[in-house]
Amino acid sequence: MEAVTLRSTRFGDLEIPAEAVLEFPNGLIGLGGSQYTLLARSEDAMFVWLHSVDDPDIAIPLTNPWKFFAEYAVELSDADEERIGIADPSEAQVYVTVRAAEALEDFTANLRAPILLVSGRGYQIINQVPDSPVRIPLLAGAADKAGQAA
């Protein structure tokens, strides 16, 4: 198994399997580079890092949106379906970017521009569901879940 050295200003140098490198053929909104990898403390971690293989300074926190927003939905445009090669977002791993803050209650998620991972490739899309927020308090979704469980 071939390995790649990931240089990171946040995590130091890490050896990752070559097959863990994700190719983003269209890049990511506002960021350079096209190769990234996911870093997580464990398989069931609430948050993962999308780390650039090209730039040691770029690492973006992500989360599975359904861990916080049970009613979250993703709709692809016809152009995205063709570009990605899937018609249904359930055929992909779906993540949303997280904007971290000093206090956990100030963390927000971007539900408007999710990241879809399909067969070693990554795509950031514009969600076609009307009114998908660019910034929504992350714990608002968790609070809704807690209220439903009570």
Residue 143 has pLDDT above 90, yes or no: no
| pLDDT confidence bin for 29, thresholds 50/70/90 | confident
Quick one: tokens of 118?
Answer: 């399909």
Q: What is the pLDDT of residue 141?
A: 54
**DSSP β-bridge partners for residue 37:** 51
Residues in the chain: 150
* DSSP classification of residue 21: P
| pLDDT confidence bin for 150, thresholds 50/70/90 | very low
Residue 46 has pLDDT above 70, yes or no: yes
| Residue with the two structure tokens 């580079």 | 33
Q: What is the pLDDT of residue 140?
A: 67
Q: What is the pLDDT of residue 42?
A: 87
H, E, C per residue of 93-104: EEEEEEECCCCH
Domain boundaries, the chain: 3-149
Average pLDDT (42-65) is 94
- Direct distance between the N- and C-terminal alpha carbons of the chain, in angstroms, rounded to an integer: 48
- Report the chain's mean pLDDT, rounded to a whole number: 90
| pLDDT confidence bin for 9, thresholds 50/70/90 | very high
Q: Is the CATH number 3.40.50.800 carried by domain 3-149? A: no
Q: What is the pLDDT of residue 104?
A: 84
Residue 148 has pLDDT above 50, yes or no: no
